[in-house]
Amino acid sequence: MSLVKNGVYIHVPFCRSKCDYCGFYSLPVAPGSEIINSYVQALVREVKSLPYDLFEAEADSLYFGGGTPSMLSAGQLSSVISSLSDRFSFADGAEITVEMNPEDFSPEKISGYLELGVNRIVLGVQSLDEESRRIIGRRGNYSIKEKLEQFFSEKGFIRCVDVITGIPGKNGAGTLDDLKVITGFRPEHISLYLLSVEEGTPLASRIVPDNSFEEMQARVWGECIDFLDASGYSHYEVSNFSLPGFESVHNSKYWHFIPYAGFGPGAHSFTGDKRYCNSMTVDEYIIADNFKYTFDERTDSDVIVEFFMTALRDLRGFSAGDFKRVTGREIPAELLSILDSLVRKGDVRYNDSRYSLTRSGLFRANRVVYEITEGYIGGSPNH
C-alpha cells in the first residue's frame, strides 16, 4: 500500500446569508431548510457513483468546507460520513474537519459532531470588532465574543480559528487586538487571511484598493505575523499558523500535490495526474442520478504554473527534487535564472537547497508567482 495518504473534501454550498466579501459559490438558505436534506441525499448518491477508483491508498483527512457546513445536523453529517466509509479506507485517527459559523455553535451540535469522529473544528470568527464586521458585511445577531468563549469551553477536539486582517477602518489596527484576545484561548490553529476585494462582490462596490490600502494591509499583516510568532505559533503556510504538531493535514495535500477527491457542485478532485471538477449547479445536482465532471486539459506549462502557485505557499519552499517529482523534469535553466533574479531582488531566498518566499515575497506572493511563470512561459513560444 502506498505511504501517501489521500484526502476527501465535501462541499456544502449553503450559508445563512452571503457576506459582502465572499466570491465563492454559495446560496443563502434558512437553517433546517429541506434543500439541505435534499443536498445531503445527492452527496450520498455522488459518493456511491465515484467515477474512478482513484484512491487505493488510505485517506487520512476528511474536510467539510463551504459555504457553511455547520448548517448540517449531526444526522445529516452522519449520512455523508457513512457513505464515504463504504467507499474509502480511512486511516486510524484520520483528521476530520468541519468549518463552523459562530451562529451554528452549540454544545449539543459539538457533541453530536464529536460522536461521529469529527476531531477538528474551524470557527469562522473573521473579526471580533463590530465596526470591522459591518464593513465586510459579516452578519449575524449574536455576540461574537460570547460565542468565542463558549467555543473554547468545549473540549475533545482541535480548535481552529479563521481571522481576516487588512480590513479598512481603525487603520487596520483591529486585527492585532483580536489576536491578543484569541491567542489567550490558545487555539491550536489560526488562519489569518488578508481581506481580498473580489470583483463582482458587494464589497467591491464600496472599496477600491489603491496603494495606501495595500500599504496598510502589508503593515498590519506583518505586525500580526510578528505577534503570532512571538506567541508561539509557527507560520507554516502563507495564511496559516499553528502550535507545534497541529498543522492542517488536509490542506497540505493541496500544496504538495497529493491526491484528493471532492464531492458537491464546484468541488475539485486531483488524481495525481488529472484534475476534474463537478460542473453542476446546486439545482442540477440535487435531482441528478448521473453527475457531470469537467476535466482540465493540463499541458506541461500548466503543471509548472500549478507547481509554483502551490509549492511556494508552504513557507519551507521547494527543492529541485520536489520540482522533478511533480513535473517529471529538472528545473529548466530559464526558470533557474528567474529564481536567481528574485533572490537578488529579495523576494525569494535560497537556503539549504530550497527556494522559499522571504517576508517581502510573502506580501507579494501572487506577483512573485506571476513573475516566475510568465517570465518562463510567456518568454518562449516553445513552452
Domain regions of the chain by residue span? 6-254, 300-377
Cell of 9: 473534501
Confidence (pLDDT) at 239:
94
Q: Determine if the pTM surpasses 0.85.
A: yes
The arithmetic mean of pLDDT across residues 53-73, rounded, is 86
Contacts by 131-134 with C-beta closer than 8 Å and gap 24+?
A: 131/169, 131/170, 131/174, 132/167, 132/169, 132/170, 132/174, 132/175
Confidence (pLDDT) at 383:
45
3-state secondary structure (DSSP) of residue 60: strand
Q: How does residue 318 score in pLDDT terms, banded at 50, 70 and 90?
A: very high
The arithmetic mean of pLDDT across residues 350-356, rounded, is 96
With contact defined as beta carbons under 8 Å apart, do 93 and 34 qualify? no
Q: Taking 60 as the threshold, does the pLDDT of residue 367 lie above it?
A: yes
Q: Which CATH architecture has domain 300-377?
A: Orthogonal Bundle (1.10)
Mean pLDDT lowest among 121-135, 143-157, 169-183, 231-245: 169-183
Residue 56's Cβ-count burial label (10 Å; 0-12, 13-18, 19+) is exposed
Question: What are the φ and ψ backbone dihedral angles of 278, each rounded to 5 degrees?
Answer: -75, 120
Q: Taking 80 as the threshold, does the pLDDT of residue 311 lie above it?
A: yes
Confidence (pLDDT) at 299:
85
Q: Taking 90 as the threshold, does the pLDDT of residue 173 lie above it?
A: no
Computed over every residue of the chain, the mean pLDDT equals 89
Confidence (pLDDT) at 143:
85
Q: How does residue 132 score in pLDDT terms, banded at 50, 70 and 90?
A: confident
Q: Which CATH number fits domain 6-254: 3.30.390.30, 1.20.1050.140, 3.40.630.10, 3.20.20.70?
A: 3.20.20.70
Helix then strand count (H, E) for the chain reads: 14, 17
Is the torsion defined by CA of 356, 362, 365, 368 positive or negative?
A: negative
Confidence (pLDDT) at 1:
38
